[in-house]
Amino acid sequence: MIVDLLAGAVPQPEAFALSEAVTLGRLRGYAEHFGGGPEPARTHAEVGARWESAREAAEKRAPTPDEFFAMLDDGGIGLAGVYTESFGSRLGVPTAGNDVVADFVARAPDRVLGFAGVDPWEADAPRVVDHAVSGLGLHGVVVSPFKQGLGADDPRMLRVYARCEALGVPVLLHTGINWSLDAAYDVGHPRHVDAVATAFPDLRLVALHAGWPWVQDMLMVAWRHRHVYVDLSAHRPRTFTRPGSGWEPLLALGARQLADRVLFASTWTLLGIPPAILVAEVRDLPLPDGVADRWLGQNALRLLGRD
């Protein structure tokens, strides 16, 4: 079975828009690099106008549930993850609630995984984790240090990890570079993941984006800790073989010593590329026999306890 661990935001117009609009509409630096904006937004009015524009554009791009499942079918994907995030304390914008994720998962629980958003700044963050997992039946938690304004090893984050470890669900953690002018460029460096993995030896951690451009460091962390995985989200597999891409360590270690720790995730909403194309690009990589199947699903099923 092919597993797209993190396909994208919930395919419901408002939820989709709230998720997708944040980077271009609220984070200084992202619109300038990826949205065509010539200058950083400097006033509250400029930020507000950019947010509303990005939100309206994202809502128009939201797929219907039927379109979402059709995309999965086209890619031969049997199980896909959808998610929300929670960063209102830091960015001052709403996000879709975890109940919206749970409602969508309930449409097809045999085909959809749901990952909760938790705001580590909130005093009741551990309770939110408990409710998301035990009450709503979600399958893990997504946290994003550069959006939430906290290092991955910040004490506020540790409360979230402790509950996830106790409940036996994974944490999907943004790693790697970010373009926000309001966050340190290396807040997602693998050294922070190493600290978390050391402190929580029974917590399954997924390093989203494989820590790029610090891929080798991220893979060393995964080699040190058997409960650390890396995923391929937000990057096109066809670029991995290009000289200087930064992905050379993945093709070496990820094909051998760490072949059981690499996970496929399309984040097609970010890339704008159908999952079927990304699956095909993984299969086209120069990998030993059987490794592509492990990356595309077998490893994720083991991570989720479904093997």
Residue 140 lies in a domain: yes
Peptide bond into 213 cis (omega under 30): yes
So what's the pLDDT on residue 24? 59
So what's the pLDDT on residue 52? 73
Residue 21 lies in a domain: no
Residue 169 lies in a domain: yes
Residue 177 lies in a domain: yes
Beta-bridge partner residues of 114: 82
Residue 220 lies in a domain: yes
Please state the domain count of the chain.
Answer: 1
pTM of the entire structure? 0.93
Residue 25 lies in a domain: no
Instruction: Pick the closest to residue 259 from 290, 236, 282 (CA basis).
Output: 290
The yes-or-no verdict on residue 177 having pLDDT over 80 is yes
How far is it, in rounded angstroms, from Cα 97 to Cα 99?
Answer: 5
Give the pLDDT band (50/70/90) at residue 179: confident
So what's the pLDDT on residue 47? 62
For all residues of the chain together, what is the average pLDDT?
91
Name, in order, each residue with C-beta under 8 angstroms of 227's C-beta and a sequence gap of 6 or more. Answer: 197, 201, 202, 203, 204, 205
Residue 50 lies in a domain: no
Question: In percent, how much of the chain has pLDDT > 90?
Answer: 72
How far is it, in rounded angstroms, from Cα 104 to Cα 73?
Answer: 17
288: domain range? 2-12+63-303
> For position 183, which CATH number holds?
3.20.20.140
More confident residue, 28 or 8: 8
Residue 242 lies in a domain: yes
pLDDT, tens digit, 9 for 90 and up, residues 97-151: 999 999 999 999 999 999 999 999 999 999 999 999 999 999 999 999 988 889 9
